[in-house]
Every structure is written in C-alpha cells, then in structure tokens.
Amino acid sequence: MDERERERAVLDRIGRGLVYTESEAAFQAGRRRADLIFEYNHTPPGQTERQRELRAAILGSCGADAVLLPPFHAAFGSNVHLGDGFFGNVNLTFVDDVEIRVGNGVMIAPSVTLTTTGHPVHPDRRVDFARFSEPITIEDRVWIGSNVVVLPGVRVGYGSVIGAGSVVTRDVPPMTVAAGVPCRVLREITEADLRTRVAPD
C-alpha cells in the first residue's frame, strides 16, 4: 500500500468514527492554522479588517457579519464553518479534527467547547493519542450558554437553547430548552416565550 492509499484508508476510518492515532493522522498537519489563530488572538481590537482577513484564512468558511471574539482556540480551524450573523464570545474552543458546522444567527456564550473528538476508554487503546472523531452540527438560531461542552456527533436543532454548564452528549431537538449534566430537554419553546422579560404596557 503506497502513501496515498494509506492516507485514504485513515481518512475512511476517521469518516466512519473509528479509532485512529496521532501518527496515522500526521499527514493532516498542514491543515492546522495554529500560527494564524495566535495572530488573530493578538490582533488589536480596532483592527477589524485584519481580524476579518484572518478569520477567512483560518476557518473553513465564515458567513457575513460573523463575530468571533478573541481569544478562541481550535485544533485545526480549517474544519470550522460559521454561518451568517454568528456571535462567538471569548474562550470558544473548537476541537475540530472533523467538521463543525454552525448555522446562521447562532449565539455562543463565553468558555464553550465544541469537541468532535474523544478517546477510547481502555488505556491500552490510547497509545499514540489514539482517538475517534464525529462531526458536530449546530443548526440556525441556537443559543448556547456559558461553559457548555458539546461532545462528538451531536446535532443541536433549530432555535434551541442550551443552559449554562451543560454537557451535551446527544442530539437536542429543535425549539427546546435543554440543560444539565448530561444535558436533557426541559421543555419546548412556545409563543409564551415571546412575552417574557417585556415591559408592561
């Protein structure tokens, strides 16, 4: 098996959510954007055009009017796709060994981690930083509270709210409020929520 065939075989395993090692995946190192992320995190706040240029160079794609407050962190950066009107607060971490797709109008509070990657439970299977990766999808108009962790393979449905401090281990349906460790659906979002925290007439 030649080098290209080996790389295709590793990518196939990664795509199926199977375990692979750091050495096996080393050929992907060129897709990491560590130096650009460092520059982004140290760009003065007033240099908004430079920040925009760096976002375009770092991310797989970035929609119009996206805001990503520094500092942020990413394993690659190039596997992250942000939609239009995205707002990401400080200390957002993308463990993007595979794709993280974030929709339009999504708001993410401080110190959130979206991690596509986990490790085998048995220590003998964690040699050479062995891991598995599954993509994350955050649909349009989701709000994720502070200090949330979203784990591999999760999809958060349209319009949903994830409460602060939650660990999201499974899919969250659209238009629901979910919270906890592990995260559970608490209730649906309804028309009544349009009337909360509104000044009286």
Q: Is residue 195 part of a domain?
A: no
**Domain span at residue 88?**
3-190
* Whether the predicted pLDDT of 196 surpasses 80: yes
CATH of the domain at 67: 2.160.10.10
Cα angle value 14/15/21 (rounded, 5°)? 0
Q: Are 179 and 198 in contact (CB under 8 A)?
A: no
Give 3-state DSSP helix, strand, coil % of the chain, rounded to 5.
25, 25, 50
Calculate mean pLDDT across residues 74-85: 98
* pLDDT tier, 200 (very low <50, low <70, confident <90, very high otherwise): confident
Angstrom distance (rounded) from CA 134 to CA 100: 9
* Whether the predicted pLDDT of 36 surpasses 80: yes
Q: Is residue 197 part of a domain?
A: no
Around Cβ 73, how many Cβ atoms within 10 Å?
A: 16
* Whether the predicted pLDDT of 81 surpasses 80: yes
Q: Are 157 and 144 in contact (CB under 8 A)?
A: no
Calculate mean pLDDT across residues 133-151: 98
Catalytic one of 42, 81, 119, 122: 119
Q: Is residue 138 part of a domain?
A: yes
Calculate mean pLDDT across residues 105-134: 97
Model pLDDT for residues 160-181, shown as the tens digit of each residue: 999 999 999 999 999 999 999 9
- Number of structural domains in the chain: 1
Residue found under tokens 């030649």: 2
Q: Is residue 12 part of a domain?
A: yes
Catalytic (active site) residue 122:
no
Q: What is the pLDDT of residue 199?
A: 85
